[in-house]
Amino acid sequence: MNIGEASRSSGVSAKMIRYYEQIGLITPPLRTDSNYRVYGPDEVHVLRFIRRARTLGFSVEETSTLLGLWQDRSRASAEVRTIASGHIEALETKIADLQGMVRTLKHLVHCCAGDSRPDCPILDDLAGEAGPKGH
């Protein structure tokens, strides 16, 4: 199949397929005499693996490591578990950071009158000011 068909079958855009090939995440596929890429079921399976890993938030580097482990039948599942556990910790930290941002923004929105006056605690906070501007 060509890159468009591989894209539709795997759920990975043609642009990302080319990018993954460029950075070495996937092996460049065979090419026709006209220099078109040719993909088979194995390549599509790899692309689906990559798409799923990326959907779960794994970085390209982590995805590369996981892909290597997936393709290595003599791997120890402990390595995979370690990577996934580290990713969970990173996600939990990110979630806590995002929840803190939401709390701060809710507080600032609550404190903002949202009327025609120029005083705005949201802008004051973004500017690093402790309180309303003195005029």
- pTM (global) more than 0.85: no
Which backbone phi and psi does 118 adopt, to 5 degrees? -80, -20
pLDDT in tens, 47-72: 999 999 999 999 999 999 999 999 99
Domains annotated for the chain, with CATH where assigned, are: 3-75 (1.10.1660.10), 94-135 (no CATH)
Indicate if the pLDDT at residue 129 is higher than 60.
yes
**Could you give the 3-state DSSP secondary structure of residue 30?**
strand
pLDDT in tens, 71-108: 999 999 999 999 999 999 999 999 999 999 999 999 99
| Alpha-helical segments (H) within the chain | 3-10, 14-22, 41-55, 60-71, 77-111, 121-126
Q: How far apart are CA 87 and CA 116, in angstroms?
A: 46
